[in-house]
Amino acid sequence: MSHCYCFKVKNDKTNKNKKKYIEYNLKKEIINTECIICLQEISLYENVILIDCGHMYHKNCLLEWFKKRKNCPICNFSVD
C-alpha cells in the first residue's frame, strides 16, 4: 500500500457550522497517493476531498462513505 503525502488544513474551531473538509480538483500531481476506499490511484485533475485531518480521497468515494459514517476512513476523525 502506498503512503499518503497529505496536507494539513487549519481548522477554525470558532465556527461550529464550518465543514471539516474541502472539495477541489487536483491540479498538482501527488506522488504515491491512493484512495483507501476504492484502492485506486488519485490522479491529476480528479475531484477529491481533503478532510481537516489531512487525508485525501476521491470525492465520489468519500461522499458514499459519508452516507454510512461521518468519519475519516483512516484515522476516524469526525466530520460531523
* CB environment 9-32: b (16+ within 10 A), e (fewer): eeeeeeeeeeeebeeeebeeebee
Three cell numbers written together for 36: 483507501
Asked whether residue 5 carries a pLDDT value surpassing 60, the answer given is no
19-61: pLDDT as tens digits:
777 777 776 666 668 999 999 998 888 899 999 898 999 999 9
The pTM for the full model equals 0.68
Domain 1-80 in CATH 3.30.40.10: yes
